[in-house]
Amino acid sequence: MRFLVAIPVYNEERYLGGVLAAVRRHAADILVIDDGSTDATPALLRHRPEVRVITHPENRGYGQSLIDAFAFAQAHGYDWVITLDCDEQHEPARIPQFVAAARRDDLDVISGSRYLRPSPDDDDAPPDRRAINNTITRMLDRLLGLRLTDSFCGFKAHRVAAMQRLSLDEPGYAFPLQFWVQCVRAGLRIRELPVRRIYRDTSREFGGTLDDPAARLQHYLAVFVREVQRGPRAPQHPCTLAVCPSLLSE
């Protein structure tokens, strides 16, 4: 099996060097998707010839960066893409665990979970992020039967052939909502892998209206509804967003 580690990056000059050095200890093939960075990130990447780079001339969004990573992996003959963030929230030392799980060859998505096996070393998540994650995770369970404990962790391993069965086009932070709906619809085999919960900088922002937790949740729900409605086999469940206000408040 051939593995590619893909790292979406937007203005990460502070963390880029350390993350790449740590990833390099566990992976031979690294792809960085520079999503229109305006800081020193592009200059730093020019001095890393061992790293493949996709450069967006402007900020296109986290989801688009992942979509581009899947396309790159398909075009270059990789079997799996392992994604992780560049803000030190994910430990590159855990990459071998994702590789080992992938090598068993009985899964399509191996998704990191910061809540599956809590550790005393875990950081506290910002309250709004934890609440939204919990709300969305329970919704995916109720409406899709998707038994996750963490629906937003970016540390994942994706079987490239399975990603080709999806039609992903959500460019922003709501990408997971589209991703999970399509994974269920395609019958992909999914398992979680425990990872540490790390928050180096709790002040990091999403940008624009998404910095407001209520607006962010509404955006996520709108993308979920749109994705369910566009699919050929929308989940059948008597509860809809219009009659389940508990999904918004819990």
Q: Which domains can be identified in the chain, with CATH numbers? A: 3-249 (3.90.550.10)
**Residue 248: predicted pLDDT:** 35
**Residue 232: predicted pLDDT:** 63
When pLDDT is averaged across residues 46-61 and rounded to a whole number, the result is: 96
Does residue 123 register a pLDDT over 80?
no
pLDDT in tens, 79-109: 999 999 998 889 999 999 999 999 999 999 9
Residue-averaged pLDDT of the chain: 89
The span from the CA of 47 to the CA of 54, in Å, is 15
Query: The whole model's pTM is what?
Result: 0.88
When pLDDT is averaged across residues 48-53 and rounded to a whole number, the result is: 95
**Residue 124: predicted pLDDT:** 77
pLDDT in tens, 185-227: 999 999 999 998 876 766 666 778 888 889 999 999 999 999 9
What is the edge-to-edge ordering of all strands in the sheet holding 30-35? 52-56, 30-35, 3-9, 80-83, 156-159, 109-113, 190-194
pLDDT band of 115, cuts 50, 70, 90: confident
When pLDDT is averaged across residues 153-176 and rounded to a whole number, the result is: 97
Cα–Cα distances in Å, from 45 out to 82, 91, 109, 141, 152? 20, 20, 29, 40, 27
